[in-house]
Chain A
Amino acid sequence: MLDLGIDVLFKGTNFLRLLQGLWVSIEISLISVVISILLGMIVGVLMTMNNPILHVALKVYLEIVRIMPQMVLLFIVYFGTTRVFGLDLSAEASAIIVFCFWGTAEMGDLVRGSIKSISKVQFESAYALGMDKVQTYWYVISPQTFRRLVPLSINLITRMIKTTSLVMMIGIVEVLKVSQQIIEANRKISPNAAFGVFAVVFLLYFMVCWPISRLSNYLEKRWV
């Protein structure tokens, strides 16, 4: 029979460790997404205001996020700050900071886009019916913004989960790191383990991300 090397996963607590590693990835993504959504809403609303200074500052911020590889940001925050500012940031905290820095920019842009995409006549139709500003935002504008935002932010979660594979570079033991450890430990007895273990990791990522992206597709079709 073809030796895929999957058997190493059934040794000891190996599979459990892999799941724990996966949970680390999910946990970092979830915390980052929640914070990013909250901060992103603030940034998004700020971006729709016509303040020139704010506008430039936020533009620069967005550009930095776009240009810098996440890995570089991770190194700067984790290794850099410890040295320069004498801060003792844990690897997890550094990862969350970097992911939020990135996620807030993305969410901010999405929020700005959704608010801008609502036509002026929507506001005026509400005003013409006698609604005040608060009622207009509450019943007419926010629900539309929110509907556009939900599928997009779900999308961001899957991208974050995928990108968490980078955090092992600063020593966080997430799913990919665990699989490497398992493969290393079994190199002698099960040289094919690399294939089997990574295949399982692939499946794990898939099982987490696929339902999320289906959900986002579904919501997009239903609401837009």
Chain B
Amino acid sequence: MSELLKVTHLHKEFGKNVVLKDINLTVKKGEVVVIIGPSGCGKSTFLRCLNGLEELQDGVITVDGLPVEANKREITKLRQKIGMVFQSYELFPHMSVLDNIILAPLKVQRRNKEEAVREATELLDKVGLLDKKDYFPRQLSGGQKQRVAIVRALLMHPDILLFDEVTAALDPEMVHEVLETMLALARSGSTMLIVTHEMAFAKAVADRIVFIDKGEIVEETTDVADFFKEPSTPRAKKFLSTFTYE
């Protein structure tokens, strides 16, 4: 399989605070990589670097062979290849669900409106939100907003999807519907990079687990089941133990 995303020697700091140290990661087409790690270890910053929302101090990121560089004009082209869904579901509040979804396809990719609307309709139907297409974001629940945000990212036909704790701000009963949507995407062959604190979901969806602690990749494995049973590093072991209550 071909390499879609390649990160080499990524180094990121905020002032004197080193947040990511010498990160190396390759994601192949169709692969689902789940990133886990304690709060503040740099997961969100890592994803933000990947689509050029943060400047790097060192290292190279390429998507489909093209370098990701914040503040370069080409970055807008690259971002179309990278779909991102944030923790705080930020739909555009002044636009209906449908308009939120088709805005970028129409204005950025200059697609045909009829065709974009047709595809948006299909996707909304798939996530069970077709009846909400003319609603405004404030009329939706958190889980519904998050699914719309996912559809909005999908309609750009990105090569890779980044998810940053998309269920963290949701009420427990809404987490499920969003995770189902992501699981379906993963099964349909999408390339995904997921940051999550839902360990059961991570286990179910991941082809590979990346464990980050204090800005470093501490453990990385494709033996997902084994990792959750018996991680090989003490730091991962300690982290996973925080999820079991006795």
Contact = CB atoms under 8 A, between A and B. Distances in A.
- A and B interact physically: yes
Interface of A: 119, 121-122, 124-132, 135, 139-140, 143-144, 147, 223
B239 interface: no
A144 B93 contact: yes
A130 B86 contact: no
B88 A121 contact: yes
Contact of A130 (B90, B94, B104): B104
Contact of B53 (A128, A129, A139, A140): A128
Interface residues of B, number: 26
Nearest to B83: A128
Contacts of B76: 127, 130-132
Nearest to A135: B107
B156 interface: yes
A131 B107 contact: yes
Contacts, number: 60
Nearest to B52: A127
A121 B90 contact: yes
Contact of B103 (A124, A127, A139, A223): A139
B101 to A, nearest CB: 10
A223 B104 CA distance: 22
Contacts of A128: 51, 53, 79, 82-84, 86, 153
B169 to A, nearest CB: 12
A122 B108 contact: no
Contacts of B51: 128
Nearest to A140: B92
A131 B92 contact: no
A114 to B, nearest CB: 12
A121 B88 CA distance: 8
B94 A223 contact: yes
Interface in B78-108: 79-80, 82-84, 86, 88, 90-94, 103-104, 107-108
A131 B156 CA distance: 12
Nearest to B51: A128
